[in-house]
Amino acid sequence: MKTNNEHIFDLCNQLVAAVRADVKQDLYQRFKAEFDFQTGMHGEPLQPVRRRGERGTDKRPFRPNSSLARVYRTLAARKHGINIKTLARESGLSIRGVSNAVHRLRQHGYKIVVNRAGYQRPKYRLAS
């Protein structure tokens, strides 16, 4: 007796699965049609969000806490020139590291002017 009812039970299960899939697809289509666009609190359409990689090139070619950034911030904070020892002390780098950072900043297009007046140490500053 079970063998006669098994094929009917399988057919019913297949029919229920097909109806559920159809209902699920219908609900998905209705939901997508109703909520496909995004609005703000007051119903205005939102501007598309720009993802992190789509924002284009960065204005500065170095990371915020890198040695280049520290030397750049030290130079940008003053209008007058700074000698290399002061730059090294304030940026936390060695004198050699500061000279390398100045060289790399120049390679990135920053204009760094050196004043070598008299017998004093050369003074570095950003050209405005």
Per residue in 29-69, pLDDT (tens digit) is 888 777 766 677 777 777 776 655 544 555 667 788 888 99
Contact yes or no for 114/102 (Cβ under 8 A)? no
Is the confidence at residue 82, as pLDDT, over 60? yes
Distance CA 100, CA 37 (A): 52
Distances (CA, A) of 34 to 18, 46, 90: 24, 16, 58
Is the confidence at residue 88, as pLDDT, over 90? yes
Is the confidence at residue 99, as pLDDT, over 90? yes
pLDDT at residue 127, rounded to an integer: 86
